[in-house]
Amino acid sequence: MAMKKKVRAFLVSLVALLWGFPTLWVLYEAFFMRNRGVGFTWENFREAFSAAPFAQYFMNTLVIVLGLLLVQLIFGAVVGFILARYDFPLKSLITAVFIMQIVIPIYAVMIQDYQLLRSFHLLDTKAGIMLPYAVSGIAVLSFRQAFRSVPRELEEAARLDGYNTLGVFRRVYLPQSLPAAIAFAVISVTYHWTDFLWPLIVTNTASSRPVVVGLAMIGLSSEAAMQWNLLAAATAIVVLPLLVVFALSTRRILAAFVATFNW
């Protein structure tokens, strides 16, 4: 039995090493690869920051990701509440529209959405990147599920205490949906922070380009110019903040990843 445990531990460590190694190596080279010899240096990062406006890219990503999250949470909570607690004509049709948002991949309507943005004069803006995603069907469904599982007695008790519908929504329902909201936030932030093709199409200048698109540009140009240290540093700039956050709350993030799909 103990033997079996050791074999298992060895296998898991081996896989973890195999999977973690490539990223670790790039980080190492970004910090320690000099033109001559090996030693700690900021030179690669200085070069990467002067080659592309990474601060601006990060700012854009931050605005896009957090702005979207806020809008998606508000729409998700309101729509989820209405769908969970009330019956009204056309309800199933309306629900179907929100489910369509989940099921239809944006890639399939990408060209139409691009032309739409052009006619709105929203190309190369952060708002343009965000608009098609502003309402998330997954947010609607997870809030709906969370609100449904709130016991009716809780609402009735709050009403006896004199709360109106808005008060009940804020004081009774919203606190109960916090786990669902956090789980959704993890999925939304990961998705939009890593989203590539749509922002690539919409943006042409650094003013609204998210960091992922900026990294892809660096990758293409440094391959052409054989400036591999630039690529290593740029990759490290993108990856390091994520890995630090992940290292700080490993288990919570992993749990959130899975919990989101337990509607």
Partner 1 sequence: MEDSWVAKEEGSAYTRGSMVRTKLQAAFPHLVRYGLLLLPLSVVLTFIVIPLVRTVWESFLAINARGLATGPAGLKNYRELFASHLFRLVLRNTLLYAVLSVILCLVIAFFLSLLLNQKRNFSSRPLLIGLFSPTVIPMIAAASVWQYFLAPRFGLVDRMLSFLGLGHENWLGHPGTALGVLVLLFVWKYAPYFTLFLLAGLQSIPPEVREALRTEDPHHLYSFRKVILPVIAPMISFVTVMSVVYALETVDPVYVLTQGGPNNGTNLIMYYLYNLGFNYFSWGMAAALSTLLMAGLSALSAFALITLERRTFHWQ
Indicate the residue among 38 and 220 with the shorter CB distance to partner 1.
220
Indicate the residue among 24 and 157 with the shorter CB distance to partner 1.
24
Indicate the residue among 152 and 251 with the shorter CB distance to partner 1.
251
For the CB of residue 50, give the shortest distance to partner 1 in the complex, in Å: 18
Say how far apart CA 255 and CA 246 lie, in whole Å.
12
Indicate the residue among 42 and 120 with the shorter CB distance to partner 1.
120
**Contact (CB, 8 A) for 75 and 135:** yes
For the CB of residue 171, give the shortest distance to partner 1 in the complex, in Å: 19
Q: Where are the alpha helices (DSSP H) in the chain?
A: 2-32, 43-51, 54-85, 91-103, 106-119, 126-130, 137-148, 152-160, 165-168, 174-176, 178-194, 197-202, 211-225, 228-248, 250-259
Helix axes 178-194, 137-148, angle to 10 degrees: 170
Longest dimension (CA), the chain: 76
Contacts with 116 (C-beta within 8 Å, 6 or more apart), sequence order: none
For the CB of residue 177, give the shortest distance to partner 1 in the complex, in Å: 17
Tokens of 8: 């298992």
Indicate the residue among 3 and 247 with the shorter CB distance to partner 1.
247
Coil, helix or strand at residue 41? coil
Indicate the residue among 122 and 154 with the shorter CB distance to partner 1.
122
Tell me the C-alpha to C-alpha distance, in Å, between residue 239 and each of 23, 75, 142, 156, 251: 8, 31, 29, 49, 19
For the CB of residue 192, give the shortest distance to partner 1 in the complex, in Å: 10
Indicate the residue among 55 and 97 with the shorter CB distance to partner 1.
97
For the CB of residue 67, give the shortest distance to partner 1 in the complex, in Å: 14
For the CB of residue 200, give the shortest distance to partner 1 in the complex, in Å: 8
**Residues for the chain: how many in total?**
263
Tokens of 166: 């808005």
For the CB of residue 41, give the shortest distance to partner 1 in the complex, in Å: 17
